Amino acid sequence: MNKTASFPQTIDELGAGGKSALARALAAIEHSPDDPAVIDLLDKAWQKPHGHVLGLTGPPGVGKSTLISTMISSWRKAGKTVGVIAVDPSSRKTGGALLGDRTRLVTDPEDEGIFVRSMAARERLGGLAGLTVPAMILMRAVYDIVLVETVGVGQSETDVASVADTVVFCIQPGSGDSLQFMKAGIMEVPHIMVVTKADMGAKADRAKADVAGALGLTEDGHGGWQVPVLKLSASSGEGIEELVTAVSDHADWLYRTGELERERQKQGQIWLETMIREKYGTEGLKKASGQLTLAEGQSPFSRGREIFSLM
């Protein structure tokens, strides 16, 4: 049987078809990424963004899965639909040992308002899989919130900024993460900082103060957005609503200032380059350098195919 048969052709069909329609569309992207009907669907989804994309990153064991489960409950109670993409860093090199005692996301399979998809990060440890961007684009067209979870290992945290509107970094109390974070020079990336496991008491307070101090040393990288440093406990529920509010405040700010459109345009440009690099390598990217333009509102998917045809 053709696995990609009868995937939705329009965003209305995608929305109306529920989780199975989305699963079929994702399978089509995976198996026939060059099918014109697949590109057409991605173009349509790109032109019709509906939801807000939240990127959540942090080291293994910091409490991301636990936090995500708690946030999903909060959003679902508020009537919001949620799509989750969990980028799994298990690779040939580590055999998945990074995941440690990771809690698996548990959601109600009967709930049509929540869709969870795990993806293996391909080459770059903690980086984003090739399917992540197209999947995010489809989910963004139909769900109110799209959450992309990545495991931050070194510099890879920055990858999440190329798919998310709002980036949340998680820091574990007593781990020295805040120091790592300063050293790595990635402080410009997050829009919201979260110290997890607030129930650990003084250690959590200390981590929060460290992070706030580190942020105070940076130039303002977000054009006027003040990065909040929050402390929360997914176990006790403390601070969860503050995070949900901070995400929604940042979404409002992006919309009000016009940053949302600018950022998404920039992301499109990055994906266009990534597509060309993945297919033709760095040499190909050089060759196409005069073509790598994306007109305002133009979808990087069809533009990518235009460039492919010229190569």
Which residues contact ligand GDP (rule: CB under 6 A)? Answer: 58, 60-66, 101-103, 196-197, 199-200, 233-235
Whole-number Å distance between alpha carbons of 27 and 298? 24
State the nearest-atom distance from the C-beta of 261 to ligand GDP, in Å: 32
Strand 82-88 vs strand 229-231: parallel, antiparallel, or unpaired? unpaired
CA atoms within 13 A on the CB side of 203: 13
Q: Give whichever of 29 and 148 is closer to ligand GDP, judged by the CB atom.
A: 148
- The CB-of-263 to ligand GDP minimum distance in angstroms stands at 26
Q: Please state the closest distance from residue 65 (CB atom) to ligand GDP, in A.
A: 3
As a residue count, the chain comes to: 311
How far lies 91's CA from each of 9, 76, 118, 119, in Å? 34, 32, 14, 11
Give me the least distance between CB of 138 and ligand GDP, in Å please: 24
Is 11 or 99 the residue whose CB approaches ligand GDP more closely?
99
Nearer to ligand GDP, 218 or 236 (CB): 236
Handedness of CA 129, 133, 139, 145 (dihedral sign): positive
Q: Which residue reads 């492919």 in tokens? A: 308
**For the chain, how big is the Rg over CA atoms in Å?**
19
Q: Which is nearer to ligand GDP, 102 or 287 (CB)?
A: 102
Closest contact distance (angstroms) between CB of 137 and ligand GDP is: 25
Q: Which residue lies nearer to ligand GDP by CB, 118 or 269? A: 118
Block residue for tokens 């869709």: 115
The 3-state DSSP class for residue 224 equals coil
